[in-house]
Chains A and B, each alone.
Chain A
Amino acid sequence: MTKPILRMKTITCLIAALAGLSRAALAAPETFDFKDPKGVNNAVFKLDAPLEAVNGNATGISGTVTFDPADPAATRGKIVVATASMHVPNTMQQGHMLSDKWLDAAKFPEISFEAKELKNVMTSGDATTADVSGAFTLKGIAKEMTVPVKFTYLKDKLGQRVPNQNGDLLVIRATFTIKRSDFGIMPGQMEEKVSDAIELTLSIAGASPR
Chain B
Amino acid sequence: MSKRILRLVAAILIVAAVGIWFFRGANRGWTKTSVPVKKTDEVTGITVDDYQKRFVPGVDFLGAAVVASAFLAGASFLFRKPQPQT
> Which A positions have Cβ atoms within 8 angstroms of B?
38-42, 44, 52-53, 57, 59, 87, 89-93, 152, 154, 157, 160-161, 169, 171, 203-205
Contacts and interface: CB of A to CB of B under 8 A. Distances in A.
B71 interface: no
Contacts, number: 60
A161 B48 contact: no
B43 A169 contact: yes
B31 A90 contact: yes
A4 B70 CA distance: 107
A171 B51 contact: no
A59 B49 CA distance: 9
A41 B46 contact: yes
Contacts of A154: 43-44
Contacts of B56: 89
Given A57-B36, A89-B35, 15 more contacts: A40-B39, A87-B34, A89-B33, A89-B34, A89-B36, A90-B31, A90-B32, A91-B33, A92-B30, A152-B44, A161-B43, A171-B44, A171-B45, A203-B48, A205-B44
